[in-house]
Structure 1
Amino acid sequence: MYDLTGFQRDLLYVVAGLDDPHGLAIKEELEEYYEKEIHHGRLYPNLDTLVEKGLVEKGERDRRTNEYTLTRRGRRELEARIEWETGYAST
């Protein structure tokens, strides 16, 4: 997790938190959080990086829509990050 950018970590949180994590839903959630447009050229390469690192699994819902889910490793990494953050934020 230490080698991820802040944006990639945010992607993990969003993928974990959405009931239906597909590209457009992830994009909309991040746009709401960042209060600016997230371009496809930023979103999808970063999702692909998370897939390559084994943190996210990419599946095909239909010919136009990909869906994303955390892998077991991704879930463990995210939980470890939350625990680490909580140790500092709760003081």
Structure 2
Amino acid sequence: MYDLTGFQRDLLYVVAGLEEPHGLAIKEELEDYYEKEIHHGRLYPNLDTLVDKGLVEKGKQDRRTNYYTLTRRGRRELDARQSWEADYLED
């Protein structure tokens, strides 16, 4: 997880928080968070990077739509990240 960009980490959290989201659902969540438009040219290559790293799986919903799910490795990486963050945020 240390080698991911902040945007890729945010993508991972959104995929984890939604049930088999498609690209546009992920895009909308991030646009709400960032309060600006996320271009397809930024979104999909970064999702593909997460797939290539084995953190996210990509499936086909139909001929035009893919969905994304967190892998077991992705879940472990998120859990480790949250534990690491908690060490610094605890009172």
TM-score normalised according to structure 1 size? 0.97
- Post-superposition Cα deviations, 1:4-45, rounded to whole Å, max 9, x if no partner, equal 000000000000001241101000000000000000000000
Determine the structure 1 residue equivalent to 2:9.
9
Divergent runs of 4+, >3 A: none
Q: Secondary structure at the match of 1:3?
A: coil
Counterparts of 1:78 and 1:34 in 2: how far apart (Å)? Answer: 20
CA distance in 1, matches of 2:75, 2:21: 15
For residue 75 of structure 1, report the CA deviation from its aligned partner.
Answer: 0.5
d(CA) in 2 for partners of 1:11, 1:72: 16
Aligned-pair identity in percent equals 84
The SS at the match of 1:67 is: strand
Shift of 1:53: 0.3
**In structure 1, how many angstroms separate the alpha carbons of the residues matched to 2:90 and 2:44?**
34
Contact 2:21 / 2:67 at 8 angstroms: preserved in 1?
A: yes
How many angstroms apart in 2 are the aligned matches of 1:31 and 1:52?
24
Separation of aligned partners in 2, 1:17 and 1:90: 23
| 1:77 match | 77
Give me the CA root mean square deviation: 0.7
1:53 is aligned to 53
2:86 aligned with 1:86: yes
Partners of 1:40 and 1:62 lie apart in 2 by: 19
